[in-house]
Structure formats: structure tokens, C-alpha cells
Amino acid sequence: MTTADIEPEGRHGALPPWLLRLGRLLLSLVFTLFGLLLVTFVIGRVVPIDPVLASVGDRASASAYHAVYLKLGLDKPVWEQFLIYVNQVLHGNLGESVLTSRPVLDDIRDVFPATLELSTVAILLGTLVGIPAGVWAAVRQGRLSDQIVRILGLVGYSAPIFWLGLLGLLLFYAKLGWVSGPGRIDIAYEFDVTRVTGLMLVDCALEGQWPAFWNAVSHIMLPASLLGYYSMAYISRMTRSFMLQELGQEYIITARVKGVSEARIVWVHALRNAAVPLVTVVALSYGGLLQGAVLTETVFAWPGLGMYLTNSLGSADMNAVLGATLVIGAAFVTLNLLSDVLYTFLDPRVRRRG
């Protein structure tokens, strides 16, 4: 009876359930990415921008126009064009940027690490502050500290970030001089650091260039804090509501009956359960940041994806726009996959279902 009461293990034979689950997730990733390609391709066709005109200019002769028209394969049927597009993307060819006359992929390789670095520092700050703040607010529900967290969150969520950015620059850079100004690093250091990963902090640390490292830190601190503040606002609100939900569950009463300490009830019992939906919240916030915070990057002259994308849009550089969109989409889908994988580790019920 004892053994019959426990669900049988490994119903799928030799493969462990988590491996099957991972395989299924990867398969869905492939399909999603394919869908993404289709969407970017369609967007590229329906926008009222003539790709030939964009590359030859409006004073080109009819024969030059026609030559480029054929070169871009626009005379072929649409489905064939799509296959060519997919084939190119799979070979890492996102076309050439009209604006920079370089392959789009090279451009993105230059700008994406800047955004990645900024978003990663920001989401770390937002999570490390937001989760404890949300837990605290939930435990002290309705009291003054809850209200303070609520107001701070509301300000972070509703104040325009370019305004906060300018204020921050004025106060911490111009007046107090606590942080460095716009850009990723001072020009004095700019050519000392060889590019390995494109992440300034990592590259400096890899070479042991500590003065440059600290300079980069003081550059990233302000924009990352601002973006982090924004995600903190969201993460703390969600943490609070997930925690309130968990703290009302029966197993919390069980823990109280057992005489488990209040701190352990909150930080181990309840938070461990709230962590499951929180993973999605953090992953989605991170994905949002990875799209390139256009306003923040502009205010802080941060040479990231958001700035690249706006510049390309301004000059109707469709290859660059579509390429960047594809990268953003892929990053988003990958993050979702990662959060799904994390789910598997956090929730034993998901692990078992396979």
C-alpha cells in the first residue's frame, strides 16, 4: 500500500522528466523563433518604405534602381523571398545597414553588450531591493512601512524616466560629483580596454584594469539605478501581492502551529512559494529592459540597442530595424525559456509533470 500511494517515478522510461521537459521547451523555442522570423519578414514587406529607394537614393537612374531591385530579389515570389530571408538569417546575415554601411549583425554586436550590461546591473539592483521591500510591505501590511514602500514604488513607476535621469545627472553628477556623467567610460580609459565580451565591466576586470573598472562602475551606477528603480517598483508590488497570497495559505498556519519562527515562516515558507511566480515577473522585467531603454540611453548617451534602433528608425534603415527587432525578440524568447527552466527547479510539482 505504501508504494502504491506514491506516484510511480519515471513514467516515460529511462529519460528523467526534467530532460524531457527541457527538450519540449527547446522545441517550442525553435517554433517561436520561426514565428518571429515570419513576423519580421511581413513587417519588412508591409511598411511603406521602398527598400530600393532607401539604398539608392531618390536621384538614382531607372536602370540603377532596377539593378538594385533585382539584386534584392524583389522580383521573385514572396514565399521565395521569405525562404531567402530565413536562409540569410540562419547564416548570420541580417543585411547591411544603410546608415552605417556595415553588416547589421556587426552593428548589433557592438551595441547590444552595452544594453545587456546596463539591463543586467539594473535588474540585479531592482530584484535585490524590490523583493525584500515587497516582502517587508506584505508583512507590515497597512502600516506605515507598507505605505512608504507603496509610495516609493508609485513614484518609480509613474515618474518619467528621462526627467528622473536629468535630475539625477544634475544632482549626483553636476552638483555632488558622486558619479561620472554620460557614456560608458571616460575617454581617458576608452582605448586602454581591449574588447573581449563587449561588457565594459567584465572586460576591465578580465584585464585587471581596476582604475578603468571603477570608472565604468561610476558611469553605469546612475542609469542602472534609475532603470533598477523602475523595475524595483514593479517587482516590489508583485512580491507584496504574491506574499500576501502565500501568507494566507493553510501551510503557514501549520508552520505557526509547529512553532516555526516568524522570520522563517516569511523568508523560507512563504517566499519560497512566492518565488515561483516571481521568476516570471523578474524575467519579463529583464526582457523589457533588454529592448533597450530608449529614453535612458538617450539621456545618458549610452551607446546601446535602444539608441541604435531609434537612429535607424529615424533614417528608415529597415535592415537595421528588423535585425534589431529580431535580436530583441530572440532575447525575450530565450529569457522566457530560462524562466521556464527555473520553474522546474523551484516548483517540484512542475518537475514531476515532466
Partner 1 sequence: MSALLEVEDLRVTFPTRSGPSEVVRGVSFTLGRERLGIVGESGSGKSQTGRAILGLTPPPGRATAARLAFDGIDLRNASPGQWRSLRGIRMSMVMQDPKFSLNPVMTIGRQLMEAAKRTAADRAEAKDRAMAMLEAVQIRDPARVFKAFPHELSGGMGQRAMIAMMLITEPDLLIADEPTSALDVTVQIEVLRILDRLVTDRGMGLIFISHDLRLVSSFCDRVLVMYAGRVVEEVKASALAQARHPYTQGLYGCLPRIEGSVRPLPTLQRDADWAL
Q: 210-247 and 144-158 are packed helices; what angle lies between their axes, rounded to 10 degrees? A: 120
Cβ of residue 9: shortest distance to partner 1, in angstroms? Answer: 9
Q: Least separation, in Å, of the C-beta of 143 and partner 1?
A: 12
Footprint of partner 1 (CB under 8 A): 1-3, 5-7, 249-251, 253-262, 269, 272-273, 276, 346-349, 352
Task: Considering the complex, state which of residue 3 and residue 101 has its C-beta at the smaller distance from partner 1.
Answer: 3
Q: How far is the CB of 331 from partner 1 (least distance, A)?
A: 29
CB nearer to partner 1: give 254 or 315.
254
User: Residue 19 CB, nearest distance to partner 1 (Å)?
Assistant: 19
State the minimum distance, in angstroms, from the CB of residue 179 to partner 1. Answer: 40
Location of C-alpha cell 544594453 = 115
Residue 348 Cβ vs partner 1, minimum distance, rounded to whole Å: 4
Nearer to partner 1, 48 or 259 (CB): 259
* Residue 6 Cα to chain centre, angstroms: 41
Residue with cell 558619479: 179
Pick between residue 5 and residue 58 the one whose CB is nearest to partner 1: 5
* 200-207 vs 104-139: helix crossing angle, rounded to 10: 100
69 bridge partner residues: none
Question: Least distance from C-beta 10 to partner 1, angstroms?
Answer: 13
CB 95 within 8 A of CB 88: yes
Pick between residue 102 and residue 272 the one whose CB is nearest to partner 1: 272
CB nearer to partner 1: pick between 6 and 90:
6
Q: Closest approach of Cβ 275 to partner 1, in Å?
A: 8
In the complex with partner 1, the residue whose CB is nearer, 40 or 273, is 273
Q: Which is nearer to partner 1, 16 or 35 (CB)?
A: 16
